Structure 1
Amino acid sequence: MNILASKAQLRASFLRWSLFLVPLTVLLGFTSGQFGSPDTAWFQSLNKPSIFPPPAAFGIVWSIIYVLIGFALAMVVSAWGAYGRGLAIIVFALHFIGNLAWTPVFFGMQNMTAALAVMGYVVVTLLGVMYVFWRVRKVAALLLVPYLCWGIFATVLNYQFIVENPDGGDTNESGAVESFKL
């Protein structure tokens, strides 16, 4: 048997990668959130679906999910010599771009339909990430299960926003929201 690294070396590598990737993942998620906000007049004017959770839940849930994503990625990145490691990192990077794009598309561009497409991409590519992570480190794939559940919920929630606001929550050029009910 040819061993590339001892278990102690792999644990040390995982620790180092975790100390880098967990904060980086959280920081990237936070930075993405700065390109749009639920505090806009547009979002405040939208009819909220019945499944819309309290606004504080989003910050809590996403913080936990980004930490789990960071640990899962650290497990894969630190798996030196594991078959499929490089592919798993590439698939993750392509997936994570979609994750980071959703907030700017939904809140920044105020485009719920495009945001729904982004969420579809996120969920489908997350399944691919989980598959390639599973081949490298099974625990890494399992750490992404809460993310998958939340991603599916977010997709349904995004769809419900479209259903509740068929006009797209359009604003006029001054930014003032007009809403008329007959």
Structure 2
Amino acid sequence: MILAAALALSLAASLLGSAATTPNLPWYAGLAKPPFNPPNAAFPIAWTILYPLMAIALWRVATAAAGPDRRRALVAYGAQYILNVAWSFAFFAAQSPALGLAVVGALLLSIAWTIARFRRVDRLAAALLWPYLAWVGFATALNAAILALNS
């Protein structure tokens, strides 16, 4: 039941992000992009891998023994989750690479905080979030380059 809820939460993030992104793809296509910009097909592939990893990590922590470490880990996860969804709205829906960069920078820090909190509860759960941190690190660099090229 808790795993299903964690997967549903990831699906909700995916759907919300897609709702903000898809209508704004023509705007994105018109932006100047750096040479390291991946093909558009890479983004849904990456998120199709990352969201289940995030859900499994959340499930492992949510089913761990109750206590202040678990509570703090879940708060950290909630913060990064909100920022994850907010980025699509900041960058795509608002059509603002500057606002997107502010949100993704906060998201990057929030994921690192979540990993540190998860590690106190479940080392494997923390490890499952490292690919997410790496991808968002890449997304931060990409967002910064897009902002620089289009300012």
Once the two structures are superposed, residues 100-142 of structure 1 have per-residue CA deviations (whole angstroms, 9 ceiling, x without a partner) of: 1011111110110110010100010111100010000000000
Report if the CA contact (8 A) 2:24-2:93 is conserved.
no
Structure showing the higher helix proportion among its residues: 2
Question: Partner of 2:51: helix, strand, or coil?
Answer: helix
1:96 alignment partner in structure 2: 81
**Offset, 1:38:** 6.9
Further displaced range: 148-157 or 47-56: 47-56
Amino acid at match of 1:100: V
CA distance in 2, matches of 1:151, 1:44: 20
CA distance in 2, matches of 1:40, 1:71: 30
Q: Is 1:149 matched with 2:137? A: no
Q: Is 1:27 matched with 2:12? A: yes
- Residues 73-152 of structure 1 correspond to what in structure 2 (within 5 A)? 73-81=58-66, 83-152=68-137
Relative to structure 1, the CA distance from residue 26 to residue 103 in structure 2 (aligned partners, 3 Å threshold; closer, same or farther) is same
1:7 alignment partner in structure 2: none
2:50 alignment partner in structure 1: 65
Q: Which blocks of at least 5 consecutive residues in structure 2 are unaligned?
A: none
Further displaced range: 29-38 or 138-147: 29-38
CA distance in 2, matches of 1:81, 1:93: 17
CA distance in 2, matches of 1:162, 1:81: 43
Q: Is 1:17 matched with 2:29? A: no
If you compute each CA radius of gyration, which structure gives the higher value, 1 or 2?
1
Relative to structure 1, the CA distance from residue 162 to residue 122 in structure 2 (aligned partners, 3 Å threshold; closer, same or farther) is same
Report if the CA contact (8 A) 1:18-1:70 is conserved.
yes
Question: Partner of 2:17: helix, strand, or coil?
Answer: helix
CA distance in 2, matches of 1:49, 1:65: 24
Once the two structures are superposed, residues 118-170 of structure 1 have per-residue CA deviations (whole angstroms, 9 ceiling, x without a partner) of: 0100010111100010000000000000000001000000011012212xxxx
Relative to structure 1, the CA distance from residue 38 to residue 62 in structure 2 (aligned partners, 3 Å threshold; closer, same or farther) is farther
CA distance in 1, matches of 2:59, 2:40: 30
Name the Cα RMSD after superposition.
1.5
Amino acid at match of 2:145: Q
Q: TM-score by structure 1 length?
A: 0.78
Question: Partner of 1:34: helix, strand, or coil?
Answer: helix
CA distance in 2, matches of 1:75, 1:151: 22
Report if the CA contact (8 A) 2:24-2:92 is conserved.
no
